[in-house]
Amino acid sequence: MTELIEKIRDTIDKKKVKSLCNRILKKCSFKSERDLRNISSLATWLYIYGYYDEMIEVCDLVKDMEFAGDYDLWFIPEMTMCLKTRVFRERGMLKEAQVLIDKINEHRDPSLYVNLVDIYEENMDENIAEELKNRPKSLADGWRLCKLQFAINYREPGKFPISDEKFDSDIQELVSILRQVK
């Protein structure tokens, strides 16, 4: 793991990527939600900047984690599987994408998705707008990252009551904005 993270830190000249790499190199426990979130964030920023092969390698750091009943910890490997699924689907690797989708959906209950629609369609946009109005832009970017992860996390496995087209449009817009972050 150390070699991969150092290689990414030393070859990708993006402040967000370097910062996350340094955090992971300093401390990374696979039992810590915060540490695992750094891995998920790094993978997401690599996706944003278009470093898909490196993103897949980072996602593979948590590929062997199994669901142990803690959804807070499971969110991270699940998120990385959704990122990989998206890249696989975009590359036409549909078999590989389906294997991941099946694993993701083992621990999901689509009947609960309706409870999340307002969070995505209203709350996140309100938070972004509020941060843009009253605080540093970086806080709005944090909400945009959160919205991007949500969109990918629910678009890829399917069965969510928001259309794939809406998710894809939002993802494209969010990536376009976040790509400008150094």
Q: Are residues 46 and 123 in the same domain?
A: no
12 and 93 in a single domain? The answer is yes
- What distance separates the 2 farthest-apart alpha carbons in the chain? 46
Asked whether 134 and 126 are in contact (CB, 8 A), the reply is: no
Residues 99 and 144 reside in one and the same domain: no
Domain termination residue (choose one: 78, 107, 136): 107
CA-wise closest residue to 90 among 41, 152, 22:
152
On the question of pLDDT at 92 being above 90, the answer is yes
Strands (E), the chain: none
> What's the domain range around 156?
109-182
Statement to judge: residues 126 and 95 lie in one domain: no
Do 143 and 166 sit in the same domain of this protein?
A: yes
* Predicted local confidence at residue 101, as pLDDT: 95
Shortest CA distance to 107 belongs to which of 79, 145, 149?
79
- The residues, ordered by sequence, that sit 6+ positions from 111 with a Cβ below 8 Å of its Cβ are none
Q: Give the whole-number percent of the chain exceeding pLDDT 90.
A: 72
